Chain A
């Protein structure tokens, strides 16, 4: 499996070369070298993919022991199964496209070697994440991609907003990791191992038992799955830990396409799919996954509707689509979640890179209110945006149609509150998805040009190095979901393709969806999506004054959406400011007045005045201090002892 290891380590090699020897190799050679290595990695990735999908066995390449402490044993290892294989091709393909695209996009940036080093390093960390055979290596990749994301969001480090966004992304993700880390510790406590295989094998024995956590008795697997899911919520930007993703758009657009659309943010979905043998035994946790996913899907779609920054619209769209994926996991349709992850990677990266071309063309402008009428000047990009949007909205034969439809259908056949909630929200969000997608297209490419004449003068189609690699993504968005291609993943309920890498208990929800969804429901989904497009056409082409009027008529709701439901403001008031105030108080009052005041300084001055009056001791201050502190300590210690013995 040498070539499988090469898939993972070629990007690392690229990162090292570009990062450490970039200055020596020069601005031109280092990025090209990194890109070539990534394309090679992608090609090998596809080879591994086809080898794996033929066989059923998981292949593990053991590298060396990482941490070993008693029964806590962790190895560096590369494990390949079908779930990994899907992630492998998604990550390496999109990354390769983004690398090549960036050769053009970043052509004028003086720090290109650093940029490509980060991109390649990110790819390596992501591959370590998806090939982990234990929880701790997964955590390594998990945090590694987080750091690369932090570095890339803050890539333009002169901009204060970019720095703020980078830190916010890291901290919010750390809050998620807080849960994830506790989950991993809990897994070790319960199973006495952190290796996936051993844990999965032992899960059925643990099902139904309970564990004491923070003085509460909780069902063991529910607790573990929920803790781990908190990590997934942070990484995959689910409500209420989503606030970092829109801000992350401060990074260069290729970064948004690779990290904040196609790969890193899907790590949470990947983890839930990977841990299906645990989640399947924790129905309560699955219920939570469904509700969180569905709520995010609709929440983000409503916010996306009101944003004017082209990248933020797509960012909220990503948030919403990730919600769909979790929703699919929650109803037990893991293969569909992965299928949607696969198709989404193509069309969302396409949309981002397309919008990057637009931003590039209009001189860095991201506000759609200062765009418009671009389609004649950049027809290729325009076509890409159409393909991406059609796939996103779930219009038949495009990739998103196959995966998203199946998600909503899987929700339809799921009983209970969660199923109903997921289904209706899935339908509602589908309408909004189409609406905001065509709002974007119309505001960007149609109508009168709203930029200055000077900017308009310079509008041009993207250079070849940028639009040619996008052919790969456009191809994926066009045909990636067809039953004989990507759709193969969910044939016969996914069991055939994924084998033992995904566990689904009970009746297969996908087969059920294929069989039991009435034609009316299928039609409804289609009508809703088309309706969204028509509504966008009506509101932004036919009656262009309508959105304005609606916004002023319902100004309060509009402001609510525009300000993203005020999540940031609430967090700032409830968490950030209090933390700073408490920190300051503890420092000045706690350390300064209380501890030092009662401790050394207070004792010193008290002794000093006492000594001055008594004039008994003539020696230096040292012993005064010492003596007084000694007495204080003894008193304290005895008090403590009496308290606990008394």
Chain B
């Protein structure tokens, strides 16, 4: 099995699919659009199968990179085409392959203009995203990392809402500034270590002063992506204007790239600097959790509310990663996956009613349960998962993060735990205003429940939320070795620091 270049296959299959889309013909506009949709859907299914094969063949007993493919690319600079995955990147790839078919399905009826370009943008983006998580060469990573912004930018800018241009530019600018600094970091590391191979950089051991500058440069890029407070204001705007599927990818995967960057680069390559800047990360994360939860409470737009809740949930992730113990990092990683499923699903939930009523305002709804019992149930499950109810995926990540944080610093754990109260408040209130109550608005009287196509993507998402909540071992098991390895890489730095900083508890 490992003889096959499975990672390349997963990375480039979507591009092949995109080429097919380009070649697709149809008798008329309508037929062409339909054929395009099917080609894109089948492509994404095949990618999913390939990724599931990778998961099945994944060896959970080693921290080494697996399915490694290595070939010289730009020999003059020693840059290689180098792919490989470990327990940290594996599930981000699975998540990507899982969400793209969902995106295509949810755009089935709602995207009516330039369907072909839309599907190509999605497939190209899938290819680049998988590339990001597979790349083991920093330059290759950087290329994928930046390239995937382009289709995203187009998706918001072309198929978005009325203020799409403002949002697209805001999104692009924020990420661009980060990217510039990340590039500086890549170049500096190359000149220092003479290599861009990620596994080699992990064991290089940079000088401590340099580490801090590198860390800040990377932080600028990753913090915008996560997004951490106060670099988050592009997110609500981007979500509001993006089409539903764009929001799904944005919330489900794009935000995870920042956190992945911390895991793959900042922590293992710059451990001393990471320890040094931990107080900064903690404070920004706590501010994010409390601040954005309060802001979410007052939102009138459903998508904005969920966008703000994403910032709060990602605050848990960054706290977990920088607590630098096994529970914290595994919790952070699990929370990334859980949030990837749950927030994506919540945007789909909004998309369902948006497709029918063309309004995202909470005030436009009320009493939907009377007409849409299936929808109410699905929404309920995701709402409870977002609130972190035990038995759903949301609990496992959040609780492990807090357990990890409590060991690192009780203040952090204490303040972050307030998030579970505030999170419940804004989600329950949202649900009540949209779903419960008397159905009085005349235009809602004929609204229809989820159709079969919509259930086709909701059912697997509900299943994922419950399985991850009841049997998280199925994922955690594959993470253990890699995470333990990462904890060991940072352990030396951590011990030195806790001696210097005193007991933070």
Contact = CB atoms under 8 A, between A and B. Distances in A.
B476 A185 contact: no
Which of B296, B400, B424 has most chain A Cβ within 10 Å? B424
A618 interface: no
B410 interface: yes
B406 A182 contact: yes
B390 A140 contact: yes
A626 interface: yes
B297 A171 contact: no
A67 B424 contact: no
B192 interface: no
A275 interface: no
Given A178-B420, A626-B177, A641-B212, A69 B428 contact: no
A136 interface: yes
A473 to B, nearest CB: 31
Contacts of B278: none
Interface residues of B, number: 71
Contacts of A583: 294-298
A219 to B, nearest CB: 15
B176 A626 contact: yes
A67 B473 contact: yes
A586 interface: yes
A409 B234 CA distance: 65
Contacts of A140: 390-391
Interface in B445-504: 470-473, 476-477, 480, 484, 503
A65 interface: yes
A69 B413 CA distance: 18
B326 interface: yes
A297 B331 CA distance: 41
B473 A68 contact: yes
Contacts of B297: 579-580, 583
A181 to B, nearest CB: 6
Contacts of B326: 69-70, 72
Contacts of A76: 470
B65 interface: no
A139 B391 CA distance: 10
Interface in B376-418: 384, 389-391, 395-396, 399-400, 402-403, 406-407, 410-411, 413-414, 417-418
A72 B403 contact: yes
A560 interface: no
Which of B299, B472, B480 has the most C-beta atoms of chain A within 10 angstroms of its own C-beta? Answer: B472
Contact of B429 (A144, A167, A213): A167
B476 A163 contact: no
B298 A587 contact: yes
Contacts of A69: 326-327, 330-331, 400, 476, 480
Contact of B177 (A144, A178, A584, A633): A633
A154 interface: yes
A448 to B, nearest CB: 37
Contacts of B369: 157
Contact of A188 (B406, B436, B484): B406
Contact of B391 (A144, A158, A633): A144
Interface stretch (B76-84, B167-175, B250-258): B167-175
Given A160-B437, A582-B294, A629-B173, A171 B424 contact: yes
B504 to A, nearest CB: 9
A140 B391 CA distance: 7
Contacts of B424: 170-171, 174
Interface stretch (A197-205, A410-418, A595-603): A595-603
A586 B407 contact: no
B437 A214 contact: no
Contact of A178 (B234, B407, B410, B421): B421
Interface in A117-175: 136, 139-140, 143-144, 147, 150, 154, 157-158, 160, 163, 166-167, 170-171, 174-175
B169 A630 contact: no
Contact of B400 (A67, A158, A579, A633): A67
A189 B408 CA distance: 10
A64 B467 CA distance: 13
A637 interface: yes
A186 interface: yes
Interface string B293-323: 0111111000000000000000000000000
Contacts of B476: 67-69
A630 B221 CA distance: 11
A497 interface: no
Contacts of A587: 295, 298-299
A517 B299 CA distance: 61
Contacts of B436: 154, 157-158, 163
Contacts of A586: 291, 294-295
Contact of A147 (B220, B389, B429, B473): B389
Interface in A177-198: 177-178, 181-182, 185-186, 188-189
A66 interface: yes
Contact of A600 (B174, B212, B395): B174
Given A174-B424, A189-B406, A213-B410, A591 B295 contact: yes
B437 A175 contact: no
B180 interface: yes
A582 B476 CA distance: 38
Nearest to A194: B403
Given A185-B402, A587-B295, A599 B417 contact: no
A565 B277 CA distance: 48
B317 to A, nearest CB: 15
Contact of B421 (A160, A174, A580): A174
Contacts of B410: 212-214
B233 A600 contact: yes
B154 interface: no
A616 interface: no
Given A154-B436, A157-B437, A139 B390 contact: yes
A633 B184 CA distance: 14
A326 interface: no
Nearest to A151: B380
A143 B503 contact: no
Interface in B79-115: none
A570 interface: no
B428 A167 contact: yes
A622 interface: yes
A486 B307 CA distance: 54
Interface string B269-302: 0000000000010000000000100111111000
A452 interface: no
A157 to B, nearest CB: 4
Contacts of B399: 67, 136, 181
B505 A212 contact: yes
Interface of A: 64-70, 72, 76, 136, 139-140, 143-144, 147, 150, 154, 157-158, 160, 163, 166-167, 170-171, 174-175, 177-178, 181-182, 185-186, 188-189, 211-215, 579-580, 582-584, 586-587, 590-591, 595-596, 599-600, 621-622, 625-626, 629-630, 633, 637, 640-641
19 contacts: A64-B471, A64-B473, A66-B470, A67-B399, A72-B400, A76-B470, A167-B428, A170-B428, A171-B425, A174-B421, A181-B402, A182-B413, A186-B406, A215-B411, A595-B230, A600-B170, A622-B169, A625-B173, A630-B177
Given A136-B399, A189-B407, A579-B422, 13 more contacts: A67-B400, A69-B326, A70-B326, A157-B437, A167-B428, A177-B420, A185-B413, A186-B406, A188-B403, A579-B294, A583-B295, A590-B291, A629-B174
User: Nearest 10 CB-CB pairs, A to B?
Assistant: A583-B294, A70-B326, A140-B390, A185-B406, A212-B505, A583-B298, A157-B436, A587-B295, A583-B297, A629-B177
Interface of B: 169-170, 172-174, 176-177, 180-181, 212, 216, 220, 230, 233-234, 236, 280, 291, 294-299, 325-327, 330-331, 367, 369, 384, 389-391, 395-396, 399-400, 402-403, 406-407, 410-411, 413-414, 417-418, 420-422, 424-425, 428-429, 432, 435-438, 470-473, 476-477, 480, 484, 503, 505
